[in-house]
Structure 1
Amino acid sequence: MIDTHCHLYLEQFEKDIDKVLSRAAQAGLSDILMPAITFDSLPKMDQLSHPDIDFHKMAGIHPTSVNDGKQATEETLYEYCKQADIIGVGETGLDYYWSDDFKAEQQESLRIHCRVAKAVQKPIILHNRSSTEDLLKIIEEEQDGSLSGIWHCFNGSEEEGKRTIDLGLHLGIGGIFTFKNAGVDKTVAQLPLDKMMLETDAPYLAPAPKRGKRNEPAFIVHTAKRLAEVKGLPVDEVERKTNQIARKLFGLAD
């Protein structure tokens, strides 16, 4: 399996990273994709290794980091993202949940990430919290047919999901999808599997039945199982299809 969104480099994993990676390998993880929070995330990603897992890096500035004064010029972001070992741009996006005082700064950062993603022809990773309409409007304005990417941690409506797909993006299916009271499973049931991929967002948003615990890549099996139930397919078929989609989007070797 492929975890398409994981923050293994964060301090929550410092004390037992070797055990976390062993559990990931035992659960069948072959690849772990890591979006950045700031550029400082990148050296930490380089410290991760396991003989049975391939680690992949992305570069970008998280919208809540923009609130904290972290910014990237288009030139600087491009210099990072053009590197061969960077497979994606982000994570970027919008987050008005904690504060809407930085809307303009977040929106400009998102546009910078979009332009760089198109320039380097790599997928963009979109964080969205309490900002769906603005996010999709900006993507619509920036889409010239060459922008690809993922609405990470998809939790929108069926209409929003279809609009996202029509804009050329994929849907990241993670822990919230498994929560009984979230209703995301009912939405996902109505959307095409060939536009979805699995993710954890570890250490955040652990899926049921691990909800409330620190999330980790091995827990992706619970999301895969629930997605198989919703789609009426065998788990191995869901794993195969979502892996195939992720490998194609990010240009990963099989």
Structure 2
Amino acid sequence: MIVTDTHTHLYSDAFDDDRAAMIQRAIDNNVSRFFIPAIDSGYTDSMLQLEQDFPDHVFLMMGLHPTSVKENYKKELAHVEEMLAKRHFYAVGEIGIDLYWDTSTLAIQKDAFKHQIKLAKHYKLPIVIHCRDAFDEIFDVLETEKSDDLFGIFHCFTGTLEQAQKAISYNMKLGIGGVATFKNGKIDQFLNQIDLKHIVLETDSPYLAPKPYRGKRNESAYIIKVLEKLSELYELPQEKIAEVTTQNSKDIFNI
């Protein structure tokens, strides 16, 4: 059984004391493929080092996270462009809109999101979307960019069934993580109505740890708890959930 974590911040300083051991714990639990989202230029060197240390397991993305879209965002976007031109990445992400922390930057967040979607299309790469309190705004942008070469993952999906179907209509897989195990997470109430071909697994570690680790530091090994929950919801063996979701990730990331 091979399990794929399609979204994990393994370079986070939350792992500075035990990064290698934490990654080995995941590998020992059949979680052997880690897709690493970017935040901003301040993390690029750490991401590259992570890839160098674990070349058989780590796959990098490049992008500007919406909470890092500040006054200097055009300089940050130039860094994204420079890196994409320099070497291969597996996705443009994580990108999108976040209105939880700051609504005043909506206009420039939209501009950065659209710009990076165009970069993804240019390089024929998927996008990995971050959405917080911004479903309508995200969908507005996706509608303007809708095309056959727009595809990717709606990371950490926490919306309704209707929003899930809308995301899928834009060629997006749904990134399902610890929220599926939460008592009040709600997505567990309808997830089995979504064909498994539209689902990928993720942790978003060190954030959003699944039960029974909720409130603690998340790590990639805990994706097994998400796998167990989906096995229960879909009434399928864990091995089948792992097989289908890993193949979905391969299709998205062109591996």
What's the TM-score once normalised by structure 1's chain length?
Answer: 0.94
Q: Tell me which residue corresponds to 1:64.
A: 67
- Among 167, 174, 177, the alignment partner of 2:177 is 174
Q: How does 1:36-51 map to 2 (within 5 A)?
A: 36-48=38-50, 49-50=53-54
Paired with 1:178 and 1:229, the residues of 2 have a C-alpha distance of: 11
Give the AA of the match of 1:29. Answer: V
- Among 130, 133, 140, the alignment partner of 1:130 is 133
Normalized per residue, the structure richer in helix is 2
Paired with 1:246 and 1:218, the residues of 2 have a C-alpha distance of: 17
Q: Tell me which residue corresponds to 1:5.
A: 7
Q: Tell me which residue corresponds to 1:188.
A: 191
Q: How does 1:148-163 map to 2 (within 5 A)?
A: 148-163=151-166
Q: 2:41 touches 2:76 (CA, 8 Å); kept in 1?
A: no
Q: 2:104 matched to 1:110?
A: no
Q: Tell me which residue corresponds to 2:103.
A: 100
State the 1:83 CA deviation: 4.4
Give the AA of the match of 1:17. Answer: R
Paired with 1:73 and 1:9, the residues of 2 have a C-alpha distance of: 19
Paired with 1:69 and 1:225, the residues of 2 have a C-alpha distance of: 43
In 2 relative to 1, CA 133–30 (structure 1 residues): closer, same or farther, beyond 3 Å? Answer: same
Deviations 1:114-161 (A, max 9, x none): 100100011101000000001011011112211111110001110111
Paired with 1:195 and 1:187, the residues of 2 have a C-alpha distance of: 14
The size of the alignment, in residue pairs, is 251
Task: Using the aligned pairs only, state the percent identity.
Answer: 35
**Which stretch shifts more, 210-219 or 142-151?**
142-151
Paired with 2:77 and 2:46, the residues of 1 have a C-alpha distance of: 23
State the 1:46 CA deviation: 2.2
Q: 2:64 touches 2:77 (CA, 8 Å); kept in 1?
A: no
Deviations 1:191-242 (A, max 9, x none): 1110110000000000111111100000000001101111110000000000
Can you give the 5+ residue segments of structure 2 that lack an aligned partner in the other structure? none
Q: 1:185 touches 1:230 (CA, 8 Å); kept in 2?
A: yes
The root-mean-square deviation of aligned C-alpha atoms, in Å, is: 1.6
In 2 relative to 1, CA 234–33 (structure 1 residues): closer, same or farther, beyond 3 Å? Answer: same
Q: Tell me which residue corresponds to 1:251.
A: 254
Q: Tell me which residue corresponds to 2:148.
A: 145
Can you give the 5+ residue segments of structure 1 that lack an aligned partner in the other structure? none
Q: Tell me which residue corresponds to 1:85.
A: 88
Please identify runs of 4+ aligned residues in structure 1 that moved more than 6 A: none
